[in-house]
Amino acid sequence: MSTLVVCLYRGTPLGVAPPVVGADAVEDLVTTIGVDDPEDSRVNCLLEGLRVARDLDDEAIVAVLSGTGDAITGNREIARQVDQLVADYDPDSAIVVVDSAEDERLVPIVESRMPVDAVDRVVVRQARDIESTYYLLKQFLADEELRKTVLVPIGLALLAFPALLAVFDSITASVGSIATVVGLFLLYKGLSIDVRLATLSTSVREALYSGQVSLVTYVVAGGLALVGTFVGVIGASSVDAAGAGELLLAMNFLHDSIPWLTGAALIASAGRLLDEFIRDDELGTAYVNLPFVAVAVGLAIRGFAAYFLQRSGLTSPVRVPEASYGPIEVDQFVVTPGTHLAIFILASIVVSLVGVRTAAYVSSADYGGLREEQI
Q: What is the pLDDT of residues 40-80, one digit of tens each?
A: 778 888 888 888 888 887 678 888 888 877 778 888 888 99
Instruction: Locate all alpha helices (DSSP H) within 6-143, ordered by sequence.
Output: 23-36, 42-55, 71-89, 107-111, 128-142
Confidence class of residue 374 from pLDDT cuts 50, 70 and 90?
very low
Burial of 107 (0-12, 13-18, 19+ CB in 10 A): middle
Of the ranges 52-61, 129-138, 182-191, the best mean pLDDT one = 52-61
Q: How confident is the model at residue 278 (pLDDT cuts 50, 70, 90)?
A: low
CA dist 12 and 34 (Å) reads 14
Rounded Cα gap, residues 107 and 166, in angstroms? 56
151, HSE (Cβ side, Cα atoms, 13 Å): 10
| Residue 351: predicted pLDDT | 87
Distances (CA, A) of 122 to 91, 126, 177, 222: 23, 12, 46, 63
Mean pLDDT of all residues belonging to the chain: 77
Per-residue pLDDT tens for 194-240?
A: 677 767 666 666 655 555 667 778 888 888 889 988 988 888 887 76
Q: How far is Cα 224 from Cα 264, in angstroms, rounded to an integer?
A: 5
**What is the mean pLDDT of the segment spanning 136-161?**
69
Tell me the β-bridge partners of 61: 4
Give the pLDDT of residue 346.
92
Contact 231, 225 (CB under 8 A): no
Q: Report the b/e string of 337-356 with b at 16+ CB within 10 A.
A: beebbeebbebbeebbeebe
Task: Report pLDDT digits (tens) over 73-115.
Answer: 888 888 998 899 888 888 888 898 888 777 788 888 888 888 8
Residue 184: is its pLDDT beyond 70? yes
pLDDT for 101:
74
The band of 11, judged by pLDDT with boundaries at 50, 70 and 90, is: confident
**pLDDT tens-digit profile of 343-371?**
888 988 998 888 888 877 776 655 445 44
State percent of the chain over pLDDT 90: 1
| Long-range contacts of residues 147-150, Cβ cutoff 8 Å, at least 24 apart | 149/186, 149/189
66 in Cβ contact with 18 (< 8 Å)? yes
- Give the pLDDT confidence score for residue 375 in this predicted structure: 42
Residue 210, Cβ density class (10 Å: 0-12 exposed, 13-18 middle, ≥19 buried): exposed
Q: Does position 28 have pLDDT exceeding 60, yes or no?
A: yes
The secondary element (H helix, E strand) that includes residue 171 is: helix 171-190
- Higher local confidence (pLDDT), 272 or 26: 26
pLDDT of residue 160: 75
Q: What is the pLDDT of residue 201?
A: 63
Query: Which of 171 and 46 is assigned the larger pLDDT?
Result: 46
pLDDT class of 250 with cuts at 50, 70, 90: confident
**Mean pLDDT confidence for 122-144:** 62
Beta strands at 318-320 and 333-335: parallel, antiparallel or unpaired: antiparallel
Phi, psi of 2, deg, nearest 5: -100, 140
* Spatial contact of 110 and 12, defined as CB atoms under 8 Å apart: no
Please answer whether residues 60 and 67 qualify as being in contact, where contact means their C-beta atoms are separated by less than 8 angstroms.
Answer: no
